[in-house]
Amino acid sequence: MYEFHQKVLFKHCDPAGIVFFPRYYEMVNDCVEAFFADVLDWPFEAMHQKGAVPTRAIETEFLAPSRHGDALVLEMRIVALGRTSCAYTLTARCDGAPRFTHRATLVNVTADGRPTAWPTPVAVTLAQWKDLP
Ligand SMILES: CC(C)(COP(=O)(O)OP(=O)(O)OC[C@H]1O[C@@H](n2cnc3c(N)ncnc32)[C@H](O)[C@@H]1OP(=O)(O)O)[C@@H](O)C(=O)NCCC(=O)NCCSC(=O)c1cc(O)c2ccccc2c1O
């Protein structure tokens, strides 16, 4: 499991005082960006020179609201790996209690947007992470 820590900031909250869902999606993408840099050794700034990794499928359940100052921990796991795609799940918790769960599939694409096989070192590392608790 890969952990990403995110304190809820003023900018994340709506006038009702809770995190607005697009801000959660930005936190998710920040977690994925950190995973690519820290774990895959393939930072977005390098990856985007030759292609991209757009999201093909996405599903989120919001279980309890988060508020300014909450210390969120996003727990990311690789749950499926294909030739060009991989799926991850993410559970965000505050003090151990779940706030939202998320599952998405990313597809590795060329500069002209066509699916292409993961680079071998990336595929090897994703395979090592797949199904880790
Ligand atoms: C993403 C596409 C280019 C895929 O093309 P196509 O639909 O033709 O895909 P294939 O049929 O060839 O399958 C490729 C691959 O995907 C798997 N797959 C297909 N459908 C699904 C599904 N419903 N659920 C799960 N998996 C699916 C299929 O099995 C194949 O896997 P293999 O491993 O077996 O090869 C095309 O669909 C497309 O361009 N879609 C639009 C993408 C988009 O606009 N997304 C939203 C905005 S972009 C975005 O959010 C985003 C951009 C980035 O640059 C990022 C960079 C880094 C991280 C995240 C990013 C990000 O989220």
Task: Evaluate: CB of 106 within 6 angstroms of ligand 1.
Answer: yes
CB 72 within 8 A of CB 23: no
43 ligand 1 Cβ < 6 A: no
pLDDT tens sequence across 29-71: 999 999 999 999 999 999 999 999 999 999 999 999 999 999 9
Give me the count of residues in the chain.
Answer: 133
Residue keyed to tokens 């006038």: 15
Ligand 1 atom nearest the C-alpha of 48 is 54
> Which atom of ligand 1 is least distant from the CA of 86?
33
Looking at this predicted complex, what is its ipTM? 0.94
Alpha-carbon span 46 to 65, nearest angstrom: 35
| Tens of pLDDT, residues 69-83 | 999 999 999 999 999
- Domains of the chain by range and CATH? 2-130 (3.10.129.10)
